[in-house]
Amino acid sequence: MTPARLVAVDALHLARVRKRYASEVIDELAGDLSPADRRLAVQLVMGCVRRRATLDALVKPFIRVPFHAVQPRVWDLLHLGAYQLALLSHIPKHAAVHETVELAAHVDSPQAKGFVNGVLRRVSELVLDEPADEPSADAVPVEERYRRLARPVLPDPGNDGAAYLAAAFSWPHWLADRWLDRHGWDECLRLGFWFNRPPPLWLRTNSRKTDRESYRLRLAAATIDAEPGEGPQSLKLLDSVPVGELPGYAEGDFAIQDVSAQAVAAALNPSPGMRVLDLCAAPGGKTTHLAELMDNRGAIVACDIERDRLATVESLAGRLGVSIIETVLLAENEPPPTGPFDAALVDVPCSNTGVLGRRPEVRWRLQPREFEHLIRLQTRLLIQAIERVRPGGAIVYSTCSIEPDENHGVVAAVRRGMPRLALEAERVAIPGRPGDGGYWARLRKPAL
């Protein structure tokens, strides 16, 4: 068996039992792998998490025992094997089955090896090596196309479009219903393909240490291709390279930040010497961007309710060489510092529906009943930020959600209670065009 597959199945198990993000676990376990094995392990783990519902649809027709009787680790193996068989094109079928069956020896069950072998061989027969032209009950989405199945195992999109989206693209059914009503069939198909492929890696060059073109040329000298994005500091990597091995990492020449997220701090347009409140600061991408835009002059009060996550803000600030950030640990529901501040950034906790590709576990953890709680929290945080900004100061409210009720809905509700609060600008970032989905609005408090 390959080290990559062994690490992958261990990462799936540990992420589940420890209730952690798979990306964090795989980073810990894959440290000793070769670059090629590490890439494969990450691809397998994140693919199995993203496509869980699709993989269930492919394997369940061939399971002849009650589903609850199958051990969780055996489910991991079935998902791992089915992912390689159906959703990857570069792994031979015999290798996918053989390597996965060998991993079953690590499961505490004498029947596991034969069971996994039997199911995966049937899945191998189900998946055909021919393309399909359109979504159907016998066509599974793979990368940017469809792959033909030997028989229908998915819901018929003509009879139940939401059920097809949920199974074929691996969304919870309630979210498929919600998005089909809001976005329509064609856009849901586009979102399905976008959220199921590995997201691009965007860099934000550190304007205090370099500029985008100089750093792009430095990458090119190391035979790493990158292209400029919409923001003046943004670069999209076109090659797969571990972040820590990129030129200038230790020197703080760049931070990892999606191009859509880079627009948020820029929307606040902070100036050197300002005192800025960052109300939900961790993990620090937008906080450190503010510090760079302020040329490390002034003060940023960065608040959060988790000590470990605030530590990531401090660590990132140290690597990037910005020193004007003061972190403040708040107890849950504790009000932030009183101010007054010249400006405030409120990057609120949200549903994360704009970043399902980057945070695939969200699609399984988020429940529709959570929106009411999130919207109350978002509204409260925005009002607290407004109250702490001086007259005439700016407030930027932002999310990584594409749900209107978390975005313009919250801003509109707050403005109804504060009619003199001006909405100067707002933007909805659409997933895949070109980065993550999200929203920001810049508000201006009335001058005295």
304 and 159 belong to one structural domain: no
421 and 279 belong to one structural domain: yes
Residue 109 has pLDDT above 80, yes or no: no
Average pLDDT, the chain: 95
Q: Which one of the listed residues 48, 280, 350, 400 is annotated catalytic?
A: 400
Compute the distance between CA of residue 169 and CA of residue 11 in angstroms, rounded to an integer. Answer: 22
72 and 57 belong to one structural domain: yes
Amino acid present at 300:
I
Q: What is the pLDDT of residues 173-207, one digit of tens each?
A: 999 999 999 999 999 999 999 999 989 999 999 99
Question: What local confidence, expressed as pLDDT, does residue 58 receive?
Answer: 98
Q: Does residue 24 belong to any structural domain of this protein?
A: no
Q: Does residue 71 belong to any structural domain of this protein?
A: yes
Q: Does residue 109 belong to any structural domain of this protein?
A: yes
314 and 173 belong to one structural domain: no
pTM for the model: 0.94
Domain count, the chain: 3
Q: Is the dihedral of CA 178, 181, 187, 190 positive or negative?
A: positive
186 and 316 belong to one structural domain: no
Cβ atoms 128, 112 nearer than 8 A: no
The question of whether 350 is a catalytic residue gets the answer no
Percentage of the chain modeled with pLDDT above 70: 100
Domain C-terminal end among 238, 256, 274: 256
301 and 440 belong to one structural domain: yes
Question: What local confidence, expressed as pLDDT, does residue 1 receive?
Answer: 62
Q: Does residue 359 belong to any structural domain of this protein?
A: yes
404 and 273 belong to one structural domain: yes
298 and 318 belong to one structural domain: yes
251 and 266 belong to one structural domain: no
Compute the distance between CA of residue 434 and CA of residue 125 in angstroms, rounded to an integer. Answer: 37
How buried is residue 256: exposed, middle or buried, by Cβ count under 10 Å (0-12/13-18/19+)?
middle
CATH number, position 156: 1.10.940
Residue 370 has pLDDT above 80, yes or no: yes
237 and 320 belong to one structural domain: no
Compute the distance between CA of residue 23 and CA of residue 50 in angstroms, rounded to an integer. Answer: 12
Domain that holds residue 251: 202-256
Compute the distance between CA of residue 253 and CA of residue 270 in angstroms, rounded to an integer. Answer: 21
Q: Does residue 34 belong to any structural domain of this protein?
A: no
The whole-number average pLDDT for the span 306-318 is 96
Question: What local confidence, expressed as pLDDT, does residue 433 receive?
Answer: 94
Question: What local confidence, expressed as pLDDT, does residue 27 receive?
Answer: 87
Which of 153, 163, 196 is closest to 48 using CA atoms? 196
Compute the distance between CA of residue 302 and CA of residue 324 in angstroms, rounded to an integer. Answer: 10
138 and 217 belong to one structural domain: no
Distances (CA, A) of 287 to 159, 263, 298, 382: 48, 12, 13, 17
Domain C-terminal end among 256, 279, 295: 256
Q: Concatenate the DSSP letters of all residues of 191-248 into one string.
A: HHHHHTSPPPPEEEE-TTT--HHHHHHHHHHTT--EEE-SSTTEEEE-S---GGGSTT
Domain C-terminal end among 195, 213, 241: 195
286 and 380 belong to one structural domain: yes
Which of 66, 83, 75 is closest to 112 using CA atoms? 75
